[in-house]
């Protein structure tokens, strides 16, 4: 069965991302065609990229990288929950993405973002990064405004239309993740030979 990781892309104290990611899990977890799991970057405290070899070489030296790579390798696709900081994604999410290469390849990704303009600019940057990592980003994304979806900018109260948008995004994500399975299988066979 298709297994999707929901990555919480912020580690800040008082972050909104955890509430949002749990909402994604609650709604997506009702499906019967895929399984979903939260992946909290707080559980993977990666320093600034400190691997001596480029990630595309797959020659990880540090235990923290090996643990991160093993976790990401478990999934067929991802939902990245991202804040928008200074017209981009969070540094911690970008750093975590940059640590790996093959573990992201041939997997689908969808985005749920939040910020003053819904995090749309963070998603645009992440789409560029996803392309370089051979990830298929689905068109639909969920953009949550701090002004309309959060009470006092901190209590997450999503509008009903956001549930429908999330459902569409997850439909696309599961379909694309499944469609990319033959490429992942071919990649795995090549690595094992």
pLDDT per position as a tens digit, 112-149: 999 999 999 999 999 999 999 999 999 999 999 999 99
Pick the CATH number of 2-192 from 3.40.250.10, 3.40.50.360, 3.30.565.10, 3.40.50.150: 3.40.50.360
Instruction: Tell me the pTM.
Output: 0.96
pLDDT exceeds 80 at position 22: yes
Per-residue pLDDT at 190 exceeds 90:
no
In this prediction, residue 153 carries a pLDDT of 92
**Percent of the chain having pLDDT more than 90?**
95
Report the pLDDT value the prediction gives residue 193, as an integer from 0 to 100: 76
pLDDT of residue 189: 82
pLDDT the model gives residue 151: 93
Q: Is the pLDDT of residue 188 over 90?
A: no
Q: Cα Rg for the chain, rounded, in angstroms?
A: 16
């Amino acid at each position: 069965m298709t297994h999707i990781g929901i990555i919480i892309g912020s580690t800040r104290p008082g972050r909104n991302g955890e509430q949002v990611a749990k909402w994604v899990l609650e709604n997506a977890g009702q499906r019967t065609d895929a399984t979903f799991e939260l992946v909290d970057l707080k559980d993977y405290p990666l320093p600034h990229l400190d691997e001596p070899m480029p990630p595309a070489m797959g020659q990880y030296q540090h235990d923290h990288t090996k643990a991160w790579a093993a976790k990401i390798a478990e999934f067929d696709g991802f939902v990245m929950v991202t804040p928008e900081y200074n017209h981009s994604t969070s540094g911690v999410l970008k750093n975590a993405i940059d640590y790996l290469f093959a573990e992201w390849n041939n997997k689908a990704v969808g985005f749920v973002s939040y910020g003053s303009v819904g995090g749309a600019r963070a998603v645009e940057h992440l789409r560029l990064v996803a392309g370089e990592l051979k990830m298929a980003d689905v068109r639909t994304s969920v953009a949550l405004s701090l002004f309309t979806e959060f009470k006092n900018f901190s209590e997450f109260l999503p509008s009903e239309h956001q549930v429908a948008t999330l459902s569409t995004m997850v439909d696309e994500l599961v379909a694309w993740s499944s469609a990319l399975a033959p490429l992942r299988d071919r990649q795995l066979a090549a690595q094992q030979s």
